[in-house]
Structure 1
Amino acid sequence: MFPHQIQDIVYATGECLNYPIDYIAASLCFVLSVGIGNTHVAKLKEGWTERAILYTALIGRPGVNKSHPLSFAFHPLFEHDAKNGVAFKKEIKEYEQLLYLSRKEREEQGISELPNEPVLKKFVVSDITPESLAFIHENNKRGICLYTDELASWFKNFNRYTKGSEEQFWLSLYNGKPIILDRRGSKNSVSVKNSFIGVIGTIQHGVLREMAKGERNQNGFLDRILFVLPNNLEKQYWSDHQLSRHVIPTWNNLMQKLINQEYLTDDNGDIIPVELYFQEDARKRLYDWQRENTDQCNREINETLMGIYSKLEIYAIRFCLILQVARWLCGEASKDSIDLVSVEGAIKLVGYYQKTARKVQQIVASSATLEQLPSDKQRLYNALPSDFSTAEGIQVASQFSISADSFKRMLSDFKDGLLDNYRHGRYRKLL
């Protein structure tokens, strides 16, 4: 579904750096969405446009290489922010020096009025309050993203100040709603007409239950997250293959081309986005798929999954926009409109995230199953390695004075949503 240059990056980093394909592909897709920001929107019909806002979670146990693909994908944004940071320090120093001058001294230097105070423009933020996030976004109305290596720190802080307020804040940002913060004095007020704040981070299987606590599995919060969960993910041996020297510059150049795109602004400094309409055959295909998805929703007896499938219809339009711009970056398409190829790719992406959503719901249910077990079985389960043989499990059980026969009987309890008996005599924990 991705253009060939990006496919090459995915496969090369997978072969040489052991990046799981799901992780690196999703990370590249997310960074592309941030690069697009508010500059382009997908227009399905009059009155309905979608921005490329994504909420993404990379799921996996420690040591399965979740963080490195993210760092690779984010490198162009980190470099851009670092250069802006250096320039900002220089500008603010010069500005402060001007403040110390008298009016006469400034006039002698040919400066009739003080320039506007410099502002720091950046794409990436981490571990930040909604208020600070809003101020940073006002300085970069193109769009920003929250990047956190441990996504648990994001949602665990939702109620740190006012119960439920931060969670509602993020629910509204998913739809690109305006941000208005009124504080005492106009200087402390913030107004962002079209918000664009994406979220991405990593999370472990066992923390998913924590994410689903409270109302998050009912109020649509969990529905808005794209879960990236590779099949049969295991820790890999180091690869002897060397990464071709063109791979990193190719990705950096693509993102730099996207970042350098010029855009129009209105009198208030808000970006006027380029609207990408759907070509007729692309629009028809998307509508046909939406009818199929609607039928699937109506057949689904699990209300949580029904909500997820519904939210993925919105993501389908956003994926169309991202793929169209990505193909334009790589010289495989124009970005005057969204074509059938991008729509087909978006539908495939939605199919992937439907599968991972079902897996996540199974993991959340498994967590509930574990909590219902007697405490001795919970302790044994937590003590087992993530991947083990029957013999290895018996050895761990002996440390709890549990016999081999008793352990084998416990395996039957654990198989119900807690263990994957993926090979004869081999088990993989699902939490």
Structure 2
Amino acid sequence: MGALEKAIDSAMQKTQDEFPIDVFPETISRLIKNAETTVLFNPSLFAGSILSTLATAIGANSSIDNGSFTVRPILWLAIVARSGAQKTAPLGKATEPIKSLDSKMHNEYLDELTAYNSSSDKKDLSKPKFKKFILNDFTIESMVEILSFNERGILITQDELMKWVNDFNKYRGKGGDQQTYLDLWNGNIFSIDRKGGGPIRLEKPSINILGGMQPELLRNFAANRTSDGFLHRFLFVIPENMGPRKYTGNPIDKNLFSDYSKIITNILDFEGQEMSVCTTIKDIYKSWQHKKAEEVHNDDIEFAIQAKMETYIWRFALILEMAHQASNAEFKPELSPETMKKAIRLVEYFFKQALKVHDYMASKDPIDHLSVSQREFYEKLPKKFKRKEGVEIGMSLGFARISADRFLRNHPSLFKQRTEDKNLAYGEYSKKYD
């Protein structure tokens, strides 16, 4: 095995269950770690939200030509965690620099609108437009109109992504909102004819999506969205081992957040560039892609996931390179080999997350739908046990008494009791799965 193959294997083997935050510039990695110890942000949730914010800041202004096709940093990202796991807060904090810019542009828009409305002669004036980045509640037509005067692009944010998909075709009857988004994911030329508003043509549409979801809603989210590749276009962040959140009373370090905001501002202020790819970068990608092609060839699900990851890896490379350059306030249209290796680590992480989603949806085993701590609790229980004994085992693992008791009472799919098995004594439980 040559040096290049060893480097690729090393990058692939570093894949982990949690987001590899060290792919970011050091100041962002430090911010993520600080937020974990102060305001209790899960690192993977915060990192995923930051990745999406960086992609939005870059938007259509920069691209990368890999020799075969050109890509821009369009990411569809879903944060998956149980209700109450604090998904909204890290998403909101990560997007704060762009929200601040939206607020500034809204104030400017109001001033311009006031001046326009008070003008007695509007013949040579154009009505002001509110140029914004973040969309929450909108129609396809209004989104396309906003894109027409914010060519850099937009970010659709939703606390609950199910609301977004449930609103598909809300204003168009049997219209094809889902197909529209599929077309827009590629960032290719898009045009729409509006009733009474005239046609709009977008040369380089850039639409990023970021939102939260609860694990039990994954099946609903995927319903009728697998065969057309809609589901495979999503990147999933599914944190492992989310322990109890214990209030610290400490804020995020202001200097670290200021440094992060400066990176976003530097990107937004930059006019953009098309990055070139040297032979070394192509060889790194080729070595990774050839290896993955052999691995996934005989598995339809892995094959479908990999097809989208081969586009996402270039989008990740562009985002990471721009982030590192922005941290030094020095831009140049070159992608470094180290960044490409980091992109491999990131794409391998998301590949593993995608497999988690498919395994979760395919599994009919109720144990697979337990949280990590609940699964550990279940595995520690003996085959047969009294309720008091089960509660004590749960408490030894950190469960509150009432939580351990409720787990035993509320999971009849996991346990037998006397009503189901007369060989059991009253108050005795039997595990249905070993």
> TM-score scaled to structure 2, two decimals?
0.80
Cα distance in 1 for partners of 2:61, 2:411 equals: 60
Aligned residue type for 1:92: L
Does the alignment pair 1:182 with 2:182?
A: no
Whether contact under 8 Å (2:63, 2:71) holds in the other structure is yes
**Pairing partner for 1:253 from 262, 265, 268:** 262
Going from structure 1 to structure 2, the CA distance change for 1:386 and 1:89 (only over 3 Å counts) comes to: farther
Instruction: Return closer, same or farther for 1:192/1:244 CA change in 2, 3 Å cut-off.
Output: same
Match of 1:423 in 2: none
Note closer, same or farther for the CA distance 1:394–1:81 as it changes in structure 2 (3 Å cut): closer
Distance 2:271 2:274 in 1: 14
1:281 shift after superposition: 1.3
Partner SS state of residue 190, structure 1: strand
* 1:280 Cα deviation after fit: 2.2
Q: For the residues of structure 2 that align with 1:29 and 1:241, how far apart are their CA atoms?
A: 24
1:340 aligns with 2:337: yes
Q: Structure 2 CA distance, aligned partners of 1:400 and 1:317?
A: 44
Counterpart for residue 2 of structure 1: 24
CA contact (8 A) 1:134 1:179 kept: no
Q: C-alpha distance in 2, partners of 1:137/1:202? A: 24
1:154 is aligned with what amino acid? Answer: W
Q: CA shift at 1:396, angstroms?
A: 5.9
The CA distance in 1 between the partners of 2:327 and 2:52, in whole Å, is 17
Q: Which residue of 1 aligns with 2:395?
A: none
Please state if 1:61 is matched with 2:82.
Answer: yes
Alignment-mate amino acid for residue 417 of structure 2? S
Deviation at 1:308, TM superposition (A): 0.7
The residue aligned with 1:269 is none
The 1:217/1:114 distance shift into structure 2, 3 A limit, reads same
Alpha-carbon deviations, 1:288-345, whole Å to 9, x = none?
111111111213x2x2232012111100010010011011011297532111011001
Deviates most, 403-412 or 343-352: 403-412
Contact 1:217 1:223 (8 Å CA) reproduced: yes
Aligned match for 1:356, one of 333, 353, 356: 353
Q: Distance in 2 between matches of 1:395 and 1:89?
A: 54
CA–CA distance in structure 2, aligned partners of residues 341 and 332 of structure 1: 19
RMSD after superposition: 2.8
Cα distance in 1 for residues equivalent to 2:195 and 2:246: 57
Select which of 157, 171, 177 maps to 2:182.
Answer: 171
The letter of the residue matching 2:110 is K
303-312 or 348-357: which moved more? 303-312
Tell me which of 232, 252, 262 is aligned to 2:241. Answer: 232
Letter of the structure 2 residue corresponding to residue 145 of structure 1: L
Q: How much has 1:190 moved relative to structure 2?
A: 1.8
In structure 1, distance between residues paired with 2:237 and 2:410: 35
Is the counterpart of residue 138 in structure 1 residue 148 in structure 2?
Answer: yes
Equivalent position of 2:42 in the other structure: 20
Instruction: From 191, 202, 205, give the equivalent of 1:195.
Output: 205
Which of 393, 400, 403 is equivalent to 2:417?
403
Identity of aligned residues (%): 26
The number of residues matched between the two structures is: 377
User: Which residues of 2 match residues 17-416 of structure 1 at below 5 A?
Assistant: 17-45=39-67, 48-98=69-119, 101=120, 114-160=124-170, 161-163=172-174, 165-185=176-196, 187-214=197-224, 216-239=225-248, 241-262=250-271, 274-299=273-298, 301=299, 303-331=300-328, 334-366=331-363, 390-391=390-391, 403=417, 405=424, 408-409=429-430, 411-412=432-433
Structure 1 Cα separation of the partners of residues 164 and 195 of structure 2: 28
Q: 1:219 to 1:408 in 2, by over 3 A?
A: farther
Match of 2:241, SS? coil
Instruction: Report the CA distance shift for 1:132/1:410 in structure 2 as closer, same or farther (over 3 A).
Output: farther
**Equivalent residues of 1:394, 1:407 under 8 A apart:** no
Q: Match for 1:346: what amino acid?
A: A
| Distance (whole Å) between structure 1 residues aligned to residue 146 and residue 294 of structure 2 | 42
- For structure 1, which segment, 240-249 or 56-65, has the greater mean C-alpha deviation from structure 2 after superposition? 240-249
Structure 1 counterpart SS, 2:163: helix
Cα distance, 1:397 vs. partner?
Answer: 5.7
User: Shift in Å at residue 251 of structure 1?
Assistant: 1.6
Q: Distance in 2 between matches of 1:32 and 1:400?
A: 42
Unaligned ranges ≥5, structure 2:
1-22, 379-389, 392-402, 419-423
Task: Describe the shift of the 1:126–1:398 C-alpha distance in structure 2 as closer, same or farther (beyond 3 A).
Answer: closer
Query: Bigger shift: 30-39 or 63-72?
Result: 63-72
Distance 1:228 1:365 in 2: 18
Structure 1 residue identity aligned to 2:100: E
1:217 alignment partner AA: T
Q: In structure 1, give the amino acid aligned to 2:349.
A: Y
SS at match of 2:118: helix
Question: Against the structure 1 CA distance between its residues 170 and 400, is the aligned structure 2 distance closer, same or farther, given a 3 Å change threshold?
Answer: closer
Q: Please, which runs of 5 or more residues in structure 1 have no aligned partner? A: 107-112, 264-273, 416-431
2:155 counterpart letter in structure 1 = C
